[in-house]
Amino acid sequence: MLKDKTAIVTGSTSGIGLGIAKALAASGARVMLNGLGDPAEIEAIRAGLARSAGVEVGFQEADMRNSGEIAALVTETARRWGGVDILVNNAGIQHVAPVEDFPEERWDAIIAVNLSSAFHAIKHALPLMRQNNWGRIINIASAHGLVASAQKAAYVAAKHGIVGLTKVVALETAQSGITCNAISPGWVLTPLVQRQIDALAANEGLAAQAAKQRLLQEKQPSGEFATPEEIGALAVFLCSPAANQMRGSNLSIDGGWTAQ
């Protein structure tokens, strides 16, 4: 379905972003990976995805806190493959602390990576999409873009902001072939969430499995994690003709978290 389309997926060397990149590649899209990690491991991921999907896969290590590097990510992708058709803003970081103890530098970093980076990427990709009057912008928000949890001020603020940004871009592109929508996962077993599980286990003296169930029981009525593969499939759907009139939507995939 996505043959001859070019996609950028930020934060795609692991977790949700990698799941989305794999799903887009499996549907025929060329994919520019982005993220942090060991260069050899990233190259193995890139080469493996290119081989398994039979598409071109690139990698660009843009720092999502740096607007110039984000612009270069978009520019290099367009230079290499002639344009940008699909942009998935997925990169994210987390820090947990009460507001009065929240380090200011962590606030700034989370807002930069989780919110501002999406603005910068959209700003540079949108003119390329307008050239062909076709594009798909998918912002990975969160259940925390709809509701809040204590000690996550920066993350919740950023994800609420992503939902609002999605709506604005959808309105500004409403009479074009470009759509902008958000996906809001609940708990997904990614490295980011695993670190929260490990911290909970350490702080409360719990076994790893007990800590996982504690997280799920507090928020996610299904008692199951969503998977990167499920989120990837939803991203592919948003790129399909069936989603042509989905504009500014925020699709929850959270095991019932925000239905409560």
Active site residues: 155
8 Å CB contact between 157 and 150: no
DSSP state letter for 226? B
CB atoms within 10 A of CB 97: 14
List the structure tokens of 155.
């993350």
> Is-contact 182 88, C-beta < 8 A?
no
* Distance (Å) of CA 81 to CA 57, 66, 84, 110: 11, 23, 8, 31
Interaxial angle between packed helices 15-26 and 228-238, expressed in degrees from 0 to 180 and rounded to the nearest 10: 50
Strand partners, 31: 7, 57
Question: Which two three-digit tokens encode residue 214?
Answer: 């504690």
